[in-house]
Structure 1
Amino acid sequence: MKKFFFLISVALVFSCTTKEEVDLIVYNANIYTVDDAFSKASSIAIKDGKFVAVGDTEEISKKYKAQKQLDAEGKTIVPGLIDAHCHFYGLGQNQQVVDLVGTQSFDEVVDRVVAFQEERPSSFILGRGWDQNDWEVKKFPTKDKLDEIFPDTPVALERIDGHAYLVNQKALDMAGITADTETEGGEIVKEDGELTGVLVDNPMGSINKVIPPASLEQKIQALKDAEQISLDYGLTTVNDAGLSRDIIELIDSLQQAGELSIRVYAMVSNYPENLDYFLDKGIIKTEGLNVRSVKVYGDGALGSRGAALRAPYSDKPGHFGAMVTPVDQIEALAQRIAATDYQMNTHAIGDSANIVVLRAYEKALDGKTDRRWKVEHAQVISQSDFDYFENGIIPSVQPTHATSDMYWAEDRLGEERVKGAYAYKDLLDKAGLVALGTDFPVEQVSPFLTFYAAVARQDVEQYPEGGFQMENALSREETLKGMTIWAAYSNFEEDEKGSIEPGKFADFVIFSDDIMTIPAEEIPNVTAERVFLGGVRKK
C-alpha cells in the first residue's frame, strides 16, 4: 500500500513538472473559435504571440501553466475582427479636419466649418462627411455661403462617400476650374451654366492637386489616431482600400519600430507610379503588413448619382452615372495584374460597372486558379450577372451601406432594379463566402453595426419593420465568418488569422455580450471590452 501511494505521488509530481509554460492562459470563457466546425471552447493558451492550444478549461489547465492568467468570467470571445474594406488612413486624416458626419442641413455644415476655423485656423479648410440625403432639402448644396464667408480662403468639403466635393470659388480658381472646363469620368455640376461648387469623382483630382500636402508628423498622427479608434472597436486587421507608396512604407516603418501594432492589408492605389513600383517588386509580407493587391475604381457612388447604371437613374431621367476608370483601362489593368501575383480589387457600385469588372476578371483570369480577386461593394447587380461569382470572384461588401441607403435606394434604382442591390445572401450563395467591412469613414467604424445590419437589415431605430429586403440577410454565423475567417481568406491569410486555432496569431476580442444569442436589437450596443493582438492586450 505504501508503495502504491508513493507511485501516485511521483506521478502527480511528474505531471505537474511537465506542464508546458506559456505566456497567457484565458479560461472560463464562451469562445467561438470560427474553425471549420464552428466549434466552441472555454479556454486558450498563448505563447510567443500565437495560440498553442484551444479547448475546455480543465483540459488546458492540465497541460499548461502561465504566470499570467485571465478569468473571462463567462464572457464571449471571438477571433480578432477584420474590416475587409475601409479607409484606415482616411479615418486618421478625418480626425484633423472638420467633422461633417450627421449634419442635418447645409446650414449646420456651414456652422461647423466656421466654428472649426475659429478654433483651428487653416490656410486651406478641409472637411468631410456631409450627405444631402440626410437633409430635409435633398439637393446638392451650392458654394454661395462659403464664398460669402470665406472669399479668400479655399474650402473643400468632401461628401461622406468620398465621391464628391463642395468647394468655394477660391478653391475653384486655384484649381483652374471654370464653367468651360471639360471632364470625363465624373461631373462638374452647374446650374443655369454657372458652377455650383460640387465636383463628382474625377474632377476632384484638380482640387487635390492644390491642397497642401500633409507633413510627416501629421501623417504619423493620422495613422495612430486611426489605430486607436479601430482597436477600441475590436478590429485587429484592417484592409485599407487604396494607399500610396509613401503611406504603405510609413506604416511598415512604424510597425517595425513598434509604434503601430494593428495589422494592415494594404491595397495599392491605382496610379502608374504605384503600380510600376509594387508590381515589379512583388508581394510584401510581414506579420503586420500585407501588400499584394491593387485597388481600382470602376465607377462613383449611388448617393451622389455617380454609380454607372445600365439604364438611367429612376430619379434623374437621362443620367447614367459614369465610369471613373474607362472600360478599356479596366480590361488592360486586369491583364497586367493577372500576369503578376497581385490581386485586383475593384470598386463597382452600379450594375453597369459591375458587369464591366466581372467580364474583365473572367477574361484576365482564364486558365488561372486561386487568385481571389474581389469586387469591392458589388452593390447593384443585374440578376443575370450573379453567376459570375461562382468562378472564384469574392464579393467584398459593407452591410451598413444597405441600411444607410435603404431610405432612397429605390428612388434611385426603381422597384425592379433595387432587388439586385445589397444582395448579400445571393452573393454568398454564388461565391461561397463574403468578406465584410464598413468602408469607414464613409460609414461608422463599429463592427457591431456591421453585424446588426447584416442580420437584421434595420437601422438602430428598428426601421423598417421586418427588415429591408430580408431575403438577403445573413445568419449570425455567416456574418461572424465574414468578419473573420472569410475576410482572412480573401486576404490569403486564412492560415495565420481569422479563427482561434493553434498556430495562428493570438488576435482575439472579449465582448460585453454574446453577439450570437442576444436579441438582434441589442447587437449595436455590444462593445469590445478587451482586445488582444498577438497575445498582448491593446484595450
Structure 2
Amino acid sequence: MATDGDTVVWLGADRPGRALYPDAEVIDLAGAFVAPAFVDPHVHVTALGLQLTGLDLTGVRSRAELLLELREYAARATDAVLFGQGWDDTEWPDRTPPTGAELTAAAAGRPVYLTRVDVHSALVAGLPGAPPATESAVVCRAAHHDARAAAHARLTAEQRDRARRAALDHAAARGVAAVHECAGPQIAGRDDLRELLALQHGVDVRGYWGEAVTDPEQARTLIDETGAAGLAGDLFVDGSLGSHTAWLREPYADTPDTGTAYLDVATITAHIRACTLAGTQAGFHAIGDAAVDAVVAGFGRVVAELGGPAVAARGHRIEHLEMIDAECAGKLAAWGVIASVQPGFDAGWGGPDGMYAARLGPQRAAAMNPFATLAAAGVPMAIGSDAPVTPIRPWAAVRAAVRHRTPGSGISPRAAFAAATRGAWRAGGVRDGVAGTLVPGAPASYAVWAVDRFATPEPGRAGRAQRWSTDPRSGVPALPQLDGVADPICLRTVHHGVVIHDR
C-alpha cells in the first residue's frame, strides 16, 4: 500500500509498487496484518477515562468484595469524590446492595459515586440524591441524574483532562481512529463536552448532544452553543434492562413494572421534525420495545409530513435498538435511519441464563439485539461499545455480532467488520463511499495488527472455529477465534497519515 500524506494512493503487489514510487519511504511490516482503522460510534470519553484512572469495579463478585475494593481505593486516592464504575449485582450470591453508611465507612467519610455496569443506576453516598444512610445506596432515574451531576461538578480540571487523555490513548491502542461522544445534560454536562471537543488528540471526537428541541431555530442554537455535530446519541427515551428502566410493552419477568418512559411520541416527533428542518442529525437512546415503538412512531409522523427523502438525507440514528421486530426494522430502513448497536451487550448478558433472560424471560430475551433482522431489512448499522459499559475491543465486538448468543440473529463477518468501519464513519456523517476502506482515494487511516491467524465460526456452528484464508489485498479481514484466543495486538494506528499509536 502506498500513501501520500493523508490519502491512500495505491494498493497492489510489491514489485510494481516499488517501481511506481521509487523514492517513497518503505515500511516493511514483516507480515503484520493491515486493516482500516475502527470507529467507535458510542463512547462516553470522560466516564471511560475515570474508569481507567480510578476504581474499576468490573468483575467484582459480591457486595463484600465491592466494599473491600472501595476501602483499598480510598486509602490510596486523594480525590474529593470517589468514582467507580462497572459493578453488576446480577452475578452476586447475595444481591442486597450496600447501604450509604457502609459506603461512607469504606470511603473514610468521602462522597462516593459508583455506577452500575449499565450506567443507569449507581451506589451513592454523601451527594445530592443519595438515600438515607441506613437504606440501600442504589439510586436511579432523577435521583441518579442529580447525584451524577453533583459528582462531576467536584472533579478538578486536572482529573478531567487526565481521564480524557487516558480514554483516547486507550482507543488508539485498540486500532480506533475516531469516537462519537454521546453527551447530554443528564450525562456530564456542557462543560465536559466543550472541554472534550477542545482537547488536542490524534483520535477524532465527534460530539453529540442528547437534548430534545421543538423547532429548527432551537436546534440550530443548541448546536452552536454546544459545538455538537448533532442532537443525537443518548437522548433518553428510556433507561436500561439491568436497572429495570427500559420501557417495555409488557411487564418485566422479575418485577411488575414496565420501566420508565422519559419522552413521549409527541416530544420525539417534534425533535425529529426540528432537526430534519435544521439540517442536523437527530437520534435517541431506545432499548425497550415500547421505547422503540415510540421512536418509530415519531419518525413515521415526520415522514408523513416532510417526506421520506427529507428524513433519510439527515442520517438520523438510534442507539442500542435492542428490542425491535421486523416490521419496525423495515420502516427504519425505508427512512434511512441508522442503528448504532453494541454486540458486547449480547456477549455479556444474552443467552438462556443471562441477565436479559432474568429480566424478560427466555423467550423475549432470545429476540434481543436482532442484528440479522436489521441487516435483512437493510437498516444501516454501526458497531460500537458504549464504553465504559462494555470495553473498547473492536475485534471482540465484531466477533460478538457474528457469534450471537441466539442462533440466527448474528450477521456475516464481512457485514460486521463493515459496520465497525465504513458503517461507523457513515453514522458520523461521512458519506464519501471510501472512508473505512483501504482503496485509492480513501483516507490513510488504518491499523497494523500482530496476529498468527484469523478464524470464524462455520455456518450454523457457533461453537466451532475454522481457518479462514483471506487475500490481504482485499482489506476485508477474517475474525480471530472467539474461544481461547486473545484479540490481535495493535502494533500501530495511523489516522489521516499520522501515527497516533505505536507499539
Q: What is the TM-score when the length of structure 1 is the normalising length?
A: 0.79
- Within the candidate set 461, 471, 475, 2:412 is matched to 475
Corresponding residue of 2:45: 88
Indicate whether 1:361 and 2:299 are aligned: yes
Tell me: CA distance 1:443–1:219, structure 2 relative to 1, closer, same or farther (3 Å).
same
CA shift, 1:523, in A, is: 5.7
Structure 1 residues 81, 271: closer, same or farther in 2, change over 3 A?
same
Tell me, yes or no, if structure 1 residue 207 matches structure 2 residue 151. no
| Corresponding residue number in structure 1 for 2:161 | 220
Q: Report the residue type matching 1:474 in the other structure.
A: I
**1:127 corresponds to 2:84:** yes
Per the alignment, residue 352 of structure 1 pairs with 290
- Given that 2:333 and 2:380 are in contact with CA atoms closer than 8 Å, whether structure 1 keeps it comes out as no
Is 1:439 the counterpart of 2:401 in the alignment?
no
Residue 413 of structure 1 aligns with an amino acid whose one-letter code is L
Mapping of residues 243-322 of structure 1, within 5 Å:
244-255=189-200, 260-270=201-211, 279-280=220-221, 291-295=229-233, 296-316=235-255, 318-322=256-260
Computed over aligned residues only, the root mean square deviation of the Cα atoms, in angstroms, reads 2.8
Q: 2:14 aligns with which of 53, 57, 72?
A: 57
Say whether residues 1:487 and 2:424 are aligned partners: yes
- Displacement of 1:354: 0.8
Structure-1 separation of matches of 2:16 and 2:90:
55
When structure 1 is superposed on structure 2, of 210-219 and 104-113 the one drifting more is: 210-219
> Equivalent residue of 2:483, what SS?
helix
User: Please, which of 409, 416, 422 is the counterpart of residue 369 of structure 2?
Assistant: 422
The residue correspondences of 1:230-245 to structure 2 (distance < 5 A) are 230-242=171-183, 244-245=189-190
Letter in 2 for 1:534: H
Provide the C-alpha distance between the structure 1 equivalents of 2:112 and 2:264, rounded to a whole number of angstroms: 29
* 1:492 positional shift: 1.8
Give the aligned partner of residue 7 of structure 1.
Answer: none
Q: Is the Cα–Cα contact under 8 Å of residues 247 and 290 in structure 2 kept in the other structure? A: yes
* Cα distance in 1, alignment partners of residues 491 and 484 from structure 2: 16
Q: Does the 8 A contact of 2:82 with 2:107 survive in 1?
A: no
**Shift in Å at residue 205 of structure 1?**
1.9
Gaps of 5+ in 1: 1-43, 180-193, 458-467
User: Is the 1:84–1:437 contact (alpha carbons within 8 Å) kept by the matching residues of 2?
Assistant: yes
2:357 alignment partner, one of 400, 406, 410? 410
Q: Distance in 1 between matches of 2:480 and 2:135?
A: 52
Checking the alignment, whether the CA contact within 8 Å between 1:91 and 1:226 is kept in structure 2 is yes
The aligned length equals 460
- Name the larger-Rg structure: 1
Task: Report the more deviating stretch, 427-436 or 136-145.
Answer: 136-145
Aligned residue in 1 for 2:266: 328
**Structure 1: distance between partners of 2:382 and 2:124:** 35
Match of 1:341 in 2: 279
Kindly provide the CA deviation profile for residues 122-153 of structure 1, in whole angstroms up to 9, marking residues without a partner as x.
33222211110122234544434224445843
Verify: 1:159 aligned to 2:98, yes or no: no
Distance 1:290 1:404 in 2: 31
- Alpha carbons of structure 1 residues 217 and 310: separation in structure 2 relative to 1, 3 Å: same
Partners of 2:322 and 2:446 in 1: CA distance: 30
**2:330 aligned with 1:387, yes or no?**
yes
Per-residue deviation at 1:352?
Answer: 0.6
With over 3 angstroms needed to count, the CA separation of the structure-2 counterparts of 1:195 and 1:362, relative to structure 1, is farther
Contact residue 505 and residue 534 of structure 1 kept, 8 A? yes
CA contact (8 A) 1:164 1:204 kept: yes
Tell me the CA shift for residue 293 of structure 1: 4.1
Name the counterpart of 1:461.
none
1:448–1:523 Cα contact (<8 Å) kept: no
**Are 1:370 and 2:313 counterparts?**
yes
- Distance in 1 (CA, whole Å) between partners of 2:289 and 2:379 is 21
Percent of residue pairs identical: 23
* Contact preservation (8 Å) 2:63, 2:95: no
For 1:225 and 1:511, the matched residues in 2 are separated by 21
* 3-state SS of paired residue (1:68): coil
List runs of 5+ in structure 2 lacking aligned partners.
455-477
State the 1:164 CA deviation: 0.1
Q: Specify the alignment match of 2:467 in structure 1.
A: none
